[in-house]
Structure 1
Amino acid sequence: MSKLDDNERWKSKMLLTEHVEQYEQQHLPHPGKIITAEERTMLRDCILLPYMETMVQKSIAEIEYSTNILKRLYLAAGQYILEQIMKDLYRLRRELKQRNIRILTEEQSDLVVYHYFYCRGYKERFGMTRDVMRSEISLRLTRYTSELTTLLKESLKERNKET
């Protein structure tokens, strides 16, 4: 026992490296509590998919009132893409819920759209510019369209083999 053990004044003044390590272990976020890059991508997609759903629904509504000859084809393609968007959105929401991540409110500041979310007890903010949102939506819609095109080509190949 040293002379400083009984002196209360020194307890608040001295900080050993062991104490610093203990403090950091207790108060710094654990690796399991910080959002990963994969989860950020899922969060981004979960934010963008409702915008895409609205866009496709508006497009389908416009096509319904058009007099285009290929109206039925466009409607079928739009319905297929809308179903895929809704399936992906459902899957992402379920996965985020399993990972204990909740999206809260949306806030717009200048050209940036911020979304607040809780990730395993920690509240964070996720922001995207409108340009990034547009380009990501465009990429996703292109991917859905190419999937539909691939399905149609495969269907045509099978039909040609049968005849």
Structure 2
Amino acid sequence: MSKLDDNERWKSKMLLTEHVEGYEQRQHSHENKIITTEERTMIRDYILLPYMEKMVQKSLADIEYSTNILKRLYLMAGQKILDQIVKDLYRLRRELKRRNIKILTEEQSELVVYHRYYCRGYEEQFGMTRDVMRSEISLQLTKYISGLAMQLKEYSKETK
């Protein structure tokens, strides 16, 4: 509490418009520097998508050398999912760049994987345990597979 708070004369004073505007701009610019939940989700996805890409590529390589009778079907479906992952990763890179968010290094501390990132001038860390990464990857791969299944269902309706 300052000495001016108790002084009744200061309560009747008017603020100049430019002072009010300057205060509001400083408040607004400070709010813009705080990362939103949507941006945290984007960072999480940006971290997980390269892992998913490698997993799908390895799976495609394994299928390539298999003798399964449905090998071509699995390869086409896997390639379609891989293409969607790459497209989403590209889209996320563009959006993070537009929002001035840079993701830097990966550090591992026991069971947690940390990524440093800069968000509009502020440096922070984003950490995930390996178990959380596995479960999120599983959920996202399930979404990609269901999306492909929906496309196949719609295609089969169109051809009938």
- Compare CA radii of gyration and give the structure with the larger one: 1
Counterpart check, 1:73 vs 2:59? no
SS, match of residue 31 in structure 2: coil
Whichever structure has more helix as a proportion of its residues is 2
Deviation at 1:133, TM superposition (A): 0.4
SS, match of residue 49 in structure 1: helix
Deviation at 1:56, TM superposition (A): 0.2
Deviation at 1:16, TM superposition (A): 2.9
Partners of 2:47 and 2:3 in 1: CA distance: 43
Query: For residue 103 of structure 1, what is the aligned residue in structure 2?
Result: 103
Q: Report % sequence identity.
A: 74
Query: For residue 4 of structure 1, what is the aligned residue in structure 2?
Result: none
CA offsets, 1:25-54, max 9 Å, x none?
98xx81110111110000000000000000
Partners of 1:93 and 1:17 in 2: CA distance: 51
Partners of 2:101 and 2:88 in 1: CA distance: 17
Partners of 2:127 and 2:2 in 1: CA distance: 40
Question: RMSD across aligned C-alpha pairs, in angstroms?
Answer: 1.8
Query: For residue 156 of structure 1, what is the aligned residue in structure 2?
Result: 156
CA offsets, 1:48-70, max 9 Å, x none?
00000000000000000000000
**Unaligned 5+ residue runs, structure 1?**
1-14, 19-24
Deviation at 1:122, TM superposition (A): 0.8
Deviation at 1:158, TM superposition (A): 1.4
Deviation at 1:156, TM superposition (A): 1.1
**Unaligned 5+ residue runs, structure 2?**
5-24
4+ runs deviating over 6 angstroms: none
